[in-house]
């Protein structure tokens, strides 16, 4: 009788393996199976990081409200995940706060990361209920010209852009005032400012296992420089798609077996597996 119940339980559990949030994945810890089923490189890496240690601490620079297109969102449901989420636009930050403000494991910062502490002009699209693209509130930037690049998708964009002064702090100040000692994951999505943020990170001090950044809006020279910077600091890099690049620490690959398996699986058949900035 007990054996029959056990078989039924296992059968139901296995049947839920197509659900990324299923308990199946916390029991049968297999990055290779995860990738085989979902074919999602970033998800496989995040999953392997998650199962490789007891707790995960992340810093997300440019969180928006953690809804549309946030790769960390589903993993943040796991109580072992905690971290800092940064969003400079007030109305977007309010939405972020309404979702995560009551969670003690998340620290929310209504600031922007910049080269120096202080205030700086920031451009964003005003909040609206009109039929704008779902990502209209994600294109805020220090650069007005960057925001205007989206005018083909939003014809009335010029009338909707607003300018404000946002509080800015350095990455070092962010970590100091939140008593950050180590970071497992850094996710950067800052609409063309990603390389500038990367340059601020003291990798030797924090030793993040994974760094995810958006290369889409970087100039060609900044793309190359970003890759060179991380390669020189002991990272292997992989362009995930036309938007994002992920960097994994060689040290983490040596010390975290699930992460090593995941990296091997997702790069196995990729001719553009890039270990340096030369490509």
Each residue's pLDDT tens digit, 6-61: 444 444 555 555 567 777 787 778 999 999 989 999 999 999 999 999 999 999 99
pLDDT tens-digit map of 154-179:
999 999 999 999 999 999 999 999 99
Supply angle C-alpha 17, 66, 108, rounded to 5.
125
* 190 contacts 198 by C-beta, under 8 angstroms: no
Q: Indicate the pTM of the whole model.
A: 0.90
How far is Cα 244 from Cα 92, in angstroms, rounded to an integer?
22
* 208 contacts 184 by C-beta, under 8 angstroms: yes
Top-level class of domain 53-255:
alpha beta
- Which residues contact residue 111 at a Cβ distance below 8 angstroms, ignoring those fewer than 6 apart? 86, 88, 166, 167, 168, 169, 174
pLDDT value at 152 more than 50: yes
Neighbours of 226 (CB within 10 A): 25
Domain ranges of the chain: 53-255
Residue 278 — very low, low, confident or very high, per pLDDT cuts 50/70/90?
very low
pLDDT value at 138 more than 80: yes
How high is the pLDDT of residue 2? 57
* Token reading at 124: 């964003």
User: Average pLDDT for residues 121-140, to the nearest whole number?
Assistant: 93
- Which residues contact residue 192 at a Cβ distance below 8 angstroms, ignoring those fewer than 6 apart? 141, 143, 146, 217, 218
How high is the pLDDT of residue 266? 95
CA 228 to chain centre: 20
């Amino acid at each position: 009788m007990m054996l029959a119940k056990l078989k039924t339980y296992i059968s139901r559990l296995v049947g839920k393996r197509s659900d990324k949030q299923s308990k199946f994945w916390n029991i049968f810890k297999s990055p290779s199976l995860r990738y085989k089923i979902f074919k999602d490189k970033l998800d496989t890496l995040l999953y392997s990081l998650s199962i490789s240690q007891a707790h995960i601490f992340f810093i997300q620079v440019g969180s928006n409200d953690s809804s549309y297109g946030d790769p960390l969102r589903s993993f943040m449901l796991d109580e072992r995940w905690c971290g800092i989420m940064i969003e400079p636009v007030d109305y977007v930050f309010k939405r972020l706060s309404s979702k995560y403000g009551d969670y003690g494991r998340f620290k929310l910062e209504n600031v922007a990361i910049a080269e120096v502490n202080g205030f700086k002009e920031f451009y964003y699209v005003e909040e609206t209920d009109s039929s704008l693209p779902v990502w209209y509130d994600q294109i805020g930037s220090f650069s007005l010209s960057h925001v205007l690049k989206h005018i083909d998708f939003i014809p009335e964009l010029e009338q909707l852009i607003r300018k404000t002064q946002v509080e800015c702090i350095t990455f070092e100040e962010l970590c100091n005032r939140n008593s950050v000692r180590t970071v497992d994951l850094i996710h950067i999505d800052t609409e063309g400012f990603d390389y500038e943020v990367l340059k601020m990170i003291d990798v030797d001090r924090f030793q993040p296992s994974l760094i995810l950044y958006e290369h889409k809006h970087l100039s060609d020279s900044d793309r190359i420089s970003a890759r060179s910077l991380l390669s020189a600091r002991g990272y292997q890099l992989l362009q995930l798609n036309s938007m994002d690049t992920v960097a994994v620490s060689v040290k983490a690959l040596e010390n975290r077996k699930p992460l090593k398996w995941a990296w091997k699986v997702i790069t196995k058949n990729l001719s553009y597996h890039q270990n340096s900035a030369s490509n």
